[in-house]
Chains A and B, each alone.
Chain A
Amino acid sequence: MAKILNEDIEPSATPDTEPEVTEEEAKTADESAAEAAENIEETEELKEEEQTAGGRPVCPRCGEKTVSKGHEYCYRCEEALSKTKLPFLGKIFAILSLAACLFCLLIVCLQAASGVQVLKGDKYSAEKNWFSAYTSYNGVASVQSEIKGILGDGSKLNYFISSGYGLKTRIFNTLVHVYDPIKAYQSATFAYGEGVSEKYLAKDEVYQRCKAEYERFEKTYTVILDTVNLMDELQEITPENGETIISMLEDYRGEKDVDNVILDYFIYSAAKYYDLSEEELDKYIDELNGDAEKSGEDFYWLYYKDVAADLISLKKYEDSVPYIEKLISEDSSDYDSTAMLMRVYLQTGEKDKAQAVVDEYCKKNTLEDGGDSDSNYSLRINMMRVNGDYEGALNLIAEAMEANQSNPEYYRQSALVYLAQGKYDEAYEAAYNAEQNAYYLAAYYGETEYYTSDILMATVYVSTSACKEFGEKNTTNAQYIDEVLEDYKDAALPKVVREWAAGEIELADILTKGACDFI
């Protein structure tokens, strides 16, 4: 605007000369002068305004007010922008999310304890401590039951306190390792509960694997069933009968639905049952291992424990170690295998190794409060007993019974200690209590495995027989001695117990190398 004005008011080049001006030219000049004057006025007004604001820029937002130094907007715009409202959707989101967050926080607090149990179970599973894992996973149900009890039956929050098939699969997986795939499959209803979704089981790999193993075993067993029935008919346990049975079993090899490894296992079991020679047993063990290796599958769960026990009974201690170590590597909570390994090292004079085995097991299987579990006590008592520390063993048994008075294994160990000390009446009483407690667990809690176990049967029979023969029979339950012996008349007792009953070996032999002692 100033540039235009300067051009308009520029003086003429020759002031002395006065050119002639016509009337029209005069009028145009007047108009131009008036226009120029107006422009001058506008420019001066603008200059005046600028001079009034001190040269400050105008607010870019409103375009009206000026902006102070150091600010982006005018005062009013700054105030407006600092109070920009949240969008309506934002307010709704904020309120809803806060409410939902509080609710979720409540449920998380209620479910956190269950989650911690699962984490513990996962940790034990990673360490292959399957029994502890099983206990932890099962603990979820009791934790949730307690929480529901606190909330009350009518609480709607109980709907959110639950667990699903994923946890049941974890429990089932622990059973697979604590027992074996076949037993686990048979107890699947216990793990998954009634009414489990078939669609879920169809996609559950662990369950399907166990089902396949079970069906393979069952198919083989069905094919050889006639031979198994014949075994019942052949009452006498003689090598000749054994060879007959084995020869019949061999005839099934190669048939449809007969698995070689499982057939080998049945043949080996028959050889053991009929007391075949050591060489024969070795031959069948080798066949079993060979076919298992050829199959490419891991059959440790099928026969390793049996083979290890048999090798120990044949004094082939070093040969048994690889089998036992494999079992322990697959399940660090396996009490039976740990006890076998301990016994092997004691027999070979390696007491330090035996103690290390016990210490390793006890370290991995302590209770949450740091105390010893039942299996820890049993192992330590066993170690003391076979070391000859009978008083120490009895003291430890008393300590263990303070924690768990109904554990039949503690009574059984007491019976073995008393037998070793020659206290036959006390041995009988302890064995009697062991059987009674085992029966109680079987009848009221469904834990039948211990009640029907070889080691309990052997201990009860030997203690009762020894008391009848050598004891004074003046104890509380002495009146039942004959009744007990009558119950065991037709029982399938271990070989060494039968040998002792027949007078072929001494009692000390049973206690040092028989079924009573280590399994």
Chain B
Amino acid sequence: MRLLYIITKYLTFPGSYMRCVWEHITCRILKLMVEPAGYMRLDEACGHVEHSLAKSQFAAYLIATGPGFMNFNMGLVFFFFGYINVFQLGITPYENVVMFIIYIISMYIGVSMLCCLFPLTEDILNFWDIAYSKSAKKTVGGKAADSVGKVLGFPFAAVTRLGAFLEKNCIIFILWVAFIVWQCIAIF
């Protein structure tokens, strides 16, 4: 599974690398320590940045979801840029080869970013532990604000936790490949 994970990370190189960049920037903002060990290491942390765990709820939440949020937004834009033109407006290589290739590359970059949305399980579990465990400390703003924040953040945290598991086991990558193949069969 580790080998498969590394292979998918290299196959989705643009998304993996960009995720590392956003993660690194987020760590710099939160003043978390970052090991300068390279982004595309051949281990379980491939496509992620080795960093110290955040201590506060907000920092832990931001490091878990922030880079994925950036990848998600950019990935959607790149993906739809190619998808609308190829699959809906029907641009083919028979009329404009250069633009067709650009749209395909854009879709590839978009899909690769959308395959690299979720953090390592350690990060999300760190947040989960800080925010939802019995020993979780109260945040600034008191009990009411803390409860509201936990309720509002719960869906995103739950999705991120599930997503981290799916990404770790390459399921998201497989789902995207299946979607693209299905669209190609339906349209072409």
Contacts and interface: CB of A to CB of B under 8 A. Distances in A.
Interface of A: 72-73, 78, 81-87, 90, 93-94, 97-98, 100-101, 104-105, 107-108, 111-112, 114-115, 118-119, 140, 160, 162-170, 197, 199-200
B166 interface: no
B34 A82 contact: yes
A86 B94 contact: no
A172 to B, nearest CB: 11
Contacts of A200: 92, 94-95
B81 A164 contact: no
Interface residues of B, number: 37
A164 B90 contact: yes
B170 to A, nearest CB: 23
Nearest to B71: A97
A124 B168 CA distance: 40
Given A104-B78, A107-B81, A169-B90, A93 B32 contact: no
A476 to B, nearest CB: 50
Given A97-B18, A101-B78, A111-B84, A167 B89 contact: yes
26 contacts: A73-B33, A81-B35, A81-B52, A82-B32, A82-B34, A83-B28, A85-B36, A86-B25, A94-B25, A97-B74, A104-B78, A105-B77, A108-B80, A111-B84, A114-B84, A115-B88, A119-B88, A162-B91, A163-B89, A164-B91, A164-B96, A166-B87, A166-B92, A167-B90, A168-B90, A200-B92
A114 B90 CA distance: 11
B21 interface: yes
B124 to A, nearest CB: 21
Interface in B65-108: 74, 77-78, 80-81, 84-92, 94-96, 99, 106
Contact of B74 (A101, A112, A167): A101
Interface of B: 17-18, 20-22, 24-25, 27-28, 31-36, 39, 52, 74, 77-78, 80-81, 84-92, 94-96, 99, 106, 187
A170 B88 CA distance: 10
Nearest to A161: B89
Given A140-B89, A166-B89, A112 B94 contact: no
A84 B85 contact: no
Contacts of B33: 72-73, 78, 81-82, 84
Contacts of B78: 100-101, 104
A419 to B, nearest CB: 48
The 9 closest A-B pairs by CB, nearest first: A166-B90, A81-B33, A164-B91, A104-B81, A167-B90, A200-B94, A164-B90, A84-B34, A163-B89
B84 A108 contact: yes
B53 to A, nearest CB: 11
Contact of B18 (A81, A84, A94, A170): A94
Contacts of B187: 166
Contacts of B92: 164-166, 200
Nearest to A163: B89
B76 to A, nearest CB: 9
